[in-house]
Amino acid sequence: MKPQDYTRLTQKKKNTKWLYKTLTEKIIGAAIEVHQELGCGFLEYVYEEALCYELNLKHISFERQKDIDIYYKDLIIPRKYIPDILIENKVIVEVKATQALTEIDEAQLLNYLKATKIRIGLLLNFGTKSLEIKRKIL
């Protein structure tokens, strides 16, 4: 019996669709608009306010500082996770205004995704000359 080549089965196709691609593109577009208008140098809450304003203009539904259950196996942890912005119950957005995103920021977002069972997260750092964007998926 000839061994099967499994590498072909795991290779990504060039036209593979991203999960919530259109939605995340709209969110990133809103963030770019905010960064172009404000630049860097403000505190996080200023960018969060401005981003929410842009999301409203684009008719994207979201909730700010919404309590989300945290799951550990079959247990729901009594304390809640509160993301900066939850968009359409599909995408967690964490707003930062730092010199650079760190591995800790990325790990924290991945942990939030795992614990809340939400599949997509965006880290948006407005504290740099160019908007820094990290898209994470589970």
The full set of domains in the chain, from first to last, is 20-137 (3.90.1570)
Q: What is the pLDDT of residues 76-109, one digit of tens each?
A: 999 999 999 999 999 999 999 999 999 999 999 9
Q: What pTM was computed for the model? A: 0.83
Query: How many whole angstroms separate alpha carbon 71 and alpha carbon 7?
Result: 34
Model confidence pLDDT, tens digit, residues 37-70? 999 999 999 999 999 999 999 999 999 999 989 8
